[in-house]
């Protein structure tokens, strides 16, 4: 039998001795207790029973999550160092949508709200999941089920979850916007139809009230609904005050191009109600106007079929070609973001692009080579 010696002073010990009679050192190795975390930094503890993730991390009485290893739980707590958590941290997808929409819907119109509500419905499978636990794969799985829909529709779905994620980051509910990593088919930019000079001349020559309305749209860039619901009180001879859809688009000043002012004056003098077009003898509901007045006139005049919105594209294209500044055009069209104006409403022809580049090149050469300037005659 081996002699037992003290783990501290190496003195021989009596059999079954717990303490060394010489130095008093306890001879049993004890497991060190973990240091207590500072107040307010959260807690990590192990749950009883057989569990796949037995370690739980808690801060401010809010459960952060369950983990397989203690080190994972401690790491999770470190992410929230210096932050006070509330029950908002455990908000579900539906909770986030409810609070985000109350704030965001104040800035958009009815159609925009409907688009977001339709997008929200496709995420029904994750409505009750904690938003902070959702990852790119969760969003991607939902979108993959709707892959056959148009790129524009899928882009709207992604726009919803991206904006919700940004809101959740602002509210310190999540740290990363996982929605921005979702993949959707790239949108193919199709050339939009615009009215040619020859087609505009046909409308001017026709002279009918329907033609006048189309020319009014071409001279302002207004949406068809904006013109049809424009109050007579919003008409001021060379400009109107109206608009719709977004906050940037409502109650904006819209100048009337010189060639269109006589048509506005024509309907203003014949108004029979509160709206500028109340005296129009045709269809005064936009949807009916398109179907019964607008398209039949294009067919009669042998103008290629294009939607009424083509008048807005035509206005923007002409304005840019004529040198209207981007800031002014954005204001006139009522876009909150100039990228919308550039990406969807301008259509450069070959000559416009070539002339713009040539003009820039000439101006640059004069700046870098002053001698190239022509000498003025005395």
* Per-residue model confidence as pLDDT tens digits over 31-90: 666 667 767 678 888 888 888 889 988 887 778 778 888 888 888 777 766 655 667 788
**What is the pLDDT at residue 130?**
92
Q: What tokens appear for 85 in the block?
A: 């958590």
| Plot region of 118 (φ>0 → left; ψ -120 to 50 → alpha; else → beta) | alpha
200's CB contacts (< 8 A; 6+ apart) are 215, 218
Whether the Cβ atoms of residue 9 and residue 25 lie closer than 8 Å to each other: yes
C-alpha closest to that of 190 among 352, 313, 330: 313
| pTM of the predicted structure, to 2 decimals | 0.49
Cα 341 versus chain centre, distance: 15
Strand duo 62-67 + 239-242: pairing:
unpaired
Length of the chain: 378
Give the confidence band of 204 by pLDDT, cuts at 50, 70, 90.
very high
Q: Where are the alpha helices (DSSP H) in 40-127?
A: 70-78, 93-104, 110-122
Residue 301: is it exposed, middle or buried by C-beta count within 10 angstroms (0-12/13-18/19+)?
Answer: middle
98's CB contacts (< 8 A; 6+ apart) are none
pLDDT in tens, 306-320: 999 899 889 888 887
Hey, is 173 helix, strand or coil?
coil
- Residue 271's Cβ-side half-sphere holds a number of Cα atoms within 13 Å equal to 19
pLDDT in tens, 12-30: 888 888 888 889 888 877 6
The sign of the dihedral angle between the CA atoms of 115, 116, 119, 120 is: negative
Whether the Cβ atoms of residue 228 and residue 275 lie closer than 8 Å to each other: yes
Name the one residue in this structure whose structure tokens are 């997008």: 119
Instruction: Quote the CA–CA distance of 90 and 132 in Å, as a whole number.
Output: 7
């Amino acid at each position: 039998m081996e002699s037992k010696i003290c783990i501290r002073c190496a003195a021989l010990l009596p059999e079954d001795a717990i303490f060394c009679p010489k130095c008093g050192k306890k001879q049993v190795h004890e497991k060190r207790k973990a240091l207590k975390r500072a107040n307010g930094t959260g807690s990590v503890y192990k749950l009883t029973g057989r569990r796949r993730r037995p370690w739980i991390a808690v801060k401010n009485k809010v459960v952060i999550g369950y983990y397989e290893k203690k080190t994972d739980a401690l790491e999770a707590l470190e992410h929230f160092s210096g932050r006070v958590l509330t029950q908002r941290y455990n908000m579900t997808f539906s909770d986030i949508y409810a609070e985000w929409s109350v704030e965001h819907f104040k800035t958009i119109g009815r159609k925009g709200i409907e688009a977001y509500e339709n997008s929200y419905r496709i995420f029904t499978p994750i409505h009750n999941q904690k938003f902070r636990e959702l990852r790119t794969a969760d969003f991607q799985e939902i979108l993959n089920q709707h892959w056959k829909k148009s790129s524009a529709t899928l882009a709207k779905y992604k726009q919803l979850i991206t904006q919700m994620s940004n809101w959740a980051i602002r509210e310190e509910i999540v740290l990363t916007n996982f929605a921005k990593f979702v993949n959707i088919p790239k949108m193919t930019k199709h050339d939009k139809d615009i009215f040619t000079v020859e087609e505009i001349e046909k409308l001017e020559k026709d002279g009918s009230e329907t033609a006048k309305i189309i020319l009014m749209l071409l001279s302002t860039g207004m949406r068809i609904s904006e013109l049809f619901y424009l109050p007579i009180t919003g008409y001021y001879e060379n400009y109107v005050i109206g608009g719709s859809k977004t906050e940037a688009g409502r109650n904006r000043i819209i100048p009337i191009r010189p060639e269109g002012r006589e048509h506005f004056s024509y309907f203003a003098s014949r108004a029979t109600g509160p709206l500028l077009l109340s005296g129009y003898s045709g269809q005064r509901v936009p949807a009916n106007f398109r179907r019964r007045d607008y398209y039949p006139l294009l067919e009669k005049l042998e103008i290629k079929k294009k939607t009424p919105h083509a008048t807005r594209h035509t206005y923007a294209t002409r304005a840019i070609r004529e040198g209207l500044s981007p800031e002014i055009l954005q204001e006139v069209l009522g876009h909150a973001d100039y990228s919308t104006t550039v990406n969807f409403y301008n259509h450069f022809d070959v000559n416009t692009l070539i002339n713009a580049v040539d003009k820039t090149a000439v101006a640059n050469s004069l700046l870098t080579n002053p001698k190239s300037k022509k000498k003025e005659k005395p």
